[in-house]
Structure 1
Amino acid sequence: MFEDIDQLKQQLDQHRPLAPNIVKNLQEDLILRWTYHSNAIEGNTLTLMETKVVLEGITVGGKSLREHFEAINHRNAIYYVEDIIKKQEPFSEWQIRNIHQLILKNIDDDHAGRYRQQNVIISGASANPPDHTLITDKIAQFIDWYNNEAARVHPIERAAKVHADFVGIHPFIDGNGRTSRLLMNLELMKAGYPPCVITVENRLAYYEVLDQWMAQGITEPFIHFVHDAVFEGFQPYRVVLGI
Structure 2
Amino acid sequence: MGTSSNWARGSNQYLKRTRPEILTRADNIHLSPSSAADRLELTGITWDSTALDFGTLKQSTPDRARARYRAMMPEYIWDAAALEGNPYTLPEVRTLLEGITVSGHRLDDQEQILALNEGFNLVDTLVGDSRFLLDKNTSDTIHGLVARHEAIESGAFRGQGAAGGGGRVGLGERGVYQASDPGVDGATLIAEHKDLLDYLDTLTDPRERAFAYFAAATKRQFYFDGNKRTSRLMMAGELMANGYDAVSVSATRRLEYNTYLTELFVTHDATQLMRFIIDNRPSD
TM category, shorter: 0.7 to 0.9
1:119 matched residue in structure 2? 166
Counterparts of 1:41 and 1:223, CA distance in 2: 17
Counterparts of 1:217 and 1:51, CA distance in 2: 34
2:267 matched residue in structure 1? 216
| Cα distance, 1:110 vs structure 2 | 5.8
Counterparts of 2:204 and 2:90, CA distance in 1: 35
2:179 matched residue in structure 1? 129
Q: In structure 1, which of residues 51, 64, 86 is the aligned counterpart of residue 106 of structure 2?
A: 64
Q: In structure 2, which of residues 130, 133, 138 is the aligned counterpart of residue 88 of structure 1?
A: 130
Q: For residues 124-168 of structure 1, give each alpha carbon's deviation from its aligned partner in whole angstroms, at most 9, with x where no partner exists.
A: 275222123274333333234324543524333222211111111
| Cα distance, 1:120 vs structure 2 | 4.0
What is the letter of the counterpart of residue 198 of structure 1?
V
Q: For residues 96-139 of structure 1, give each alpha carbon's deviation from its aligned partner in whole angstroms, at most 9, with x where no partner exists.
A: 1111111133x248622133322342132752221232743333
- Secondary structure at 2:183's aligned position in 1? helix
- The verdict on how the C-alpha distance between 1:97 and 1:228 changes in structure 2, with shifts beyond 3 A counting, is same
**Equivalences for 1:18-97 in 2 at 5 Å?**
26-89=68-131, 90-97=133-140
- The verdict on how the C-alpha distance between 1:173 and 1:3 changes in structure 2, with shifts beyond 3 A counting, is closer
Q: For residues 153-188 of structure 1, give each alpha carbon's deviation from its aligned partner in whole angstroms, at most 9, with x where no partner exists.
A: 433322221111111121222211211211121121
Q: Could you tell me the percent identity over the aligned residues?
A: 22
CA RMSD in angstroms comes to: 2.6
1:142 matched residue in structure 2? 193
Query: What TM-score, normalized by structure 1, do the two folds share?
Result: 0.80
Counterparts of 2:202 and 2:95, CA distance in 1: 39
2:141 matched residue in structure 1? 98
The total of aligned residue pairs comes to 223
Counterparts of 2:69 and 2:63, CA distance in 1: 14
**Structure 2: which 5+ residue stretches go unaligned?**
1-51, 159-163
1:159 matched residue in structure 2? 210
- The verdict on how the C-alpha distance between 1:215 and 1:96 changes in structure 2, with shifts beyond 3 A counting, is same
- The verdict on how the C-alpha distance between 1:68 and 1:192 changes in structure 2, with shifts beyond 3 A counting, is same
| Cα distance, 1:59 vs structure 2 | 0.8
| Cα distance, 1:189 vs structure 2 | 1.3
- The verdict on how the C-alpha distance between 1:145 and 1:17 changes in structure 2, with shifts beyond 3 A counting, is closer
- Secondary structure at 1:98's aligned position in 2? helix
Q: For residues 8-49 of structure 1, give each alpha carbon's deviation from its aligned partner in whole angstroms, at most 9, with x where no partner exists.
A: 43xx55xx865xxx975x444321111001110011110000
- Secondary structure at 1:122's aligned position in 2? strand
Give the structure, 1 or 2, with the largest relative contact order (CA under 8 Å, sep 6 or more): 2
Q: For residues 67-123 of structure 1, give each alpha carbon's deviation from its aligned partner in whole angstroms, at most 9, with x where no partner exists.
A: 111111111111111222223333321111111111133x24862213332234213
**Structure 1: which 5+ residue stretches go unaligned?**
239-243
